[in-house]
Amino acid sequence: MALVKAYGGESPFIFVSYSHSDREEVEPVIAYLQRLGYNVWFDEGLPLGQDWAQTLDARIGECECFLCFISTRSVGSPECEKEIRRALDTKRTMVNVFLEPVELAPSVADEMMRVQGIERFRIHDDSAFYIKLLESRLFESCRDTEEFQIDSGNLVRYNGKASAVTVPVSVTQIGYNAFEGCSHLQLVSIPAGVDRIGKFAFNDTPALHRFEVEQDNGFFRSIDGVLYNKSKNYLLAYPTARPGEVYSIPEGVKYIALVAFAEANVLTWIDMPDGVIYVGDRAFEACRNLVHVRVSESLTRIRPYTFSRCTSLVGCNLPAALEDLGDGVFSGCSSLEQIDLPAGLTCIGEMAFAHCGALKGVALPAGLREVPAYGFHECSSLATVDFANVRRIAPYAFKNCDALTDFVLPGTLEDIGRAAFSGCDSLMRLKIPGSVRSIGEYAFDRCPRLETVEICEGVREICEGAFDKDESLRRVLLPDSVETVHPQAFPVWTEVVR
């Protein structure tokens, strides 16, 4: 766990039990807790030369809380079972996080089931999971009570509950995630000596409505409560709860930082001047009341998740110069009914329009060669698609697009990926052009109204489950070019004729 370090002090701490096979899921949770000021110990904090089993046994007995991540890997680990048994025997305060459905060993199942548990695998939103994890306040005794954690001029963490905070004059750097999760924070005053502010420093501060910066600060300034660099060409952070539904970014701004406006839920309208040439990742993510954004015409790329989860967004111009839409740019924009993709667009990232439930139609530009994985996944109102010159439709691209009925696959298409059109309930007719080399696994499965499939000469391969569970599909004629047909490519009730 290179990104986190085990707690080594004398204050109350959380002991984390986990299988090392689950470290990619566990590490972000440890990092999050540490950013909020919680003392967390895990087994990579074992001192060199000390007995492994004895040290673990002692640390469990000393811990204030025992946080257990449960998976099939941890259940199968004798070491994890010993840790759980020790925590139960010493009556530690316990929280179980289930990473997946599991069956616990009978020896501990009854006792573990009486412990508070969270089914992480059912909670897909990280914020919702962390709220659930902390809502019982079982970990509060393990939180550093020092108001300002400062290390060599770096404000590592603010642990206080004040609504107005003046950063101490000894601070020269506000660190990564320093104020994250400070739900009471309304005003931050930055002294003259601060010359650096870390990423996500003010992330998840729902009450924040104003920044103030000392006039003598040579690196930052506040303009009407919004944080900018001294030159006023870089917008760094917009206070989440700043009053006013409309915000016009000033002329002269060229750059907007990542997450700069994230979760600014008062805003309904944002006007971006054409001088803006860069907008950081997730810049407007989860602005849930944002209805319209005027995007700078100078942008050639919109970076990942820029407008993700803006659930009220109905309008957004895409500049004519745009070439690249990043991953998840509009994912979860459930009110977005229409989007005009510019002619010069050549790349759309994965999940770019996933879960846009109100989107009704889309015309793909002529220069686009691939529809990305999960690109329009679960766009339940999407009825029409113009594919232009697409060569590849990636896996899950249109999965569960319930309303999709009207499209013509182009003669340029070569591959249809796994489950690309799976669960398209309204699809009735389909023509696969001869340019297609392979119809991927489960590409058109669970399309219950699909009655007619025309596979043109030139198609070579039909993979497993390609038309599985298509209830209305009774007969398919295969051309001579088809070389490989998986035995389970079609339902048992479909007559396949060569």
Q: What is the pLDDT of residue 106?
A: 65
Q: What is the pLDDT of residue 426?
A: 96
CATH entry, 14-142, from 2.40.30.10, 3.40.50.10860, 3.40.50.10140, 3.20.20.140: 3.40.50.10140
- List, for residues 68-105, the tens digit of each pLDDT value: 999 999 988 888 888 998 999 999 999 999 999 887 76
Q: What is the pLDDT of residue 455?
A: 96
Stretch 377-405: mean pLDDT: 96
- List, for residues 366-386, the tens digit of each pLDDT value: 999 999 999 999 999 999 999
Stretch 414-422: mean pLDDT: 97
Please state, rounded to an integer, the average pLDDT across all residues of the chain.
Answer: 92
Measure the CA–CA gap between 22 and 30, rounded to whole angstroms: 12
Q: What is the pLDDT of residue 107?
A: 60
Q: Judging by DSSP bridges, how do beta strands 226-229 and 220-223 pair with one another? A: antiparallel
How far separated are the first and last CA of the chain, in Å rounded? 56
Q: What is the pLDDT of residue 1?
A: 41
* 14-142 shares its CATH topology with 383-498: no
Report domain extents, the chain.
Answer: 14-142, 383-498
What percent of the chain clears pLDDT 70, i.e. is strictly above it?
A: 95
pTM for this entry:
0.78
Cβ-based neighbour number of residue 245 at 10 Å: 11
Instruction: Indicate the pLDDT class of residue 50, thresholds 50, 70 and 90.
Output: low
- Between these two residues, 65 and 161, which has the higher pLDDT value? 65
Task: Check pLDDT > 90 for residue 144.
Answer: no
Q: What is the pLDDT of residue 226?
A: 98
- Residue 42 to residues 70, 101, 255, 259, Cα–Cα distance (Å): 15, 23, 40, 30
Q: What is the pLDDT of residue 260?
A: 98
Q: What is the pLDDT of residue 2?
A: 41
- List, for residues 239-260, the tens digit of each pLDDT value: 999 999 999 999 999 999 999 9
The CATH code of the domain at 383-498 is 3.80.10.10
Measure the CA–CA gap between 368 and 393, rounded to whole angstroms: 11
- List, for residues 292-320, the tens digit of each pLDDT value: 999 999 999 999 999 999 999 998 999 99
Cβ-based neighbour number of residue 363 at 10 Å: 13
Measure the CA–CA gap between 336 and 317, rounded to whole angstroms: 12
> What SS3 string covers the chain?
CCCCCCCCCCCCCEEEECCHHHHHHHHHHHHHHHHCCECEECHHHCCCCCCHHHHHHHHHHHCCEEEEEECHHHHCCHHHHHHHHHHHHCCCEEEEEECCCCCCCHHHHHHHCCCEEEEHHHCCCHHHHHHHHHCCCCCHHHECCCCEEEECCEEEEECCCCCEEECCCCCCEECCCCCCCCCCCCEEEECCCCCEECCCCCCCCCCCCEEEECCCCCCEEEECCEEEECCCCEEEECCCCCCCCEEECCCCCCEECCCCCCCCCCCCEEECCCCCCEECCCCCCCCCCCCEEECCCCCCEECCCCCCCCCCCCEECCCCCCCEECCCCCCCCCCCCECCCCCCCCEECCCCCCCCCCCCEEECCCCCCEECCCCCCCCCCCCEEECCCCCEECCCCCCCCCCCCEEECCCCCCEECCCCCCCCCCCCEEEECCCCCEECCCCCCCCCCCCEEEECCCCCEECCCCCCCCCCCCEEECCCCCCEECCCCCCCCCEEEC
- List, for residues 457-467, the tens digit of each pLDDT value: 999 999 999 99
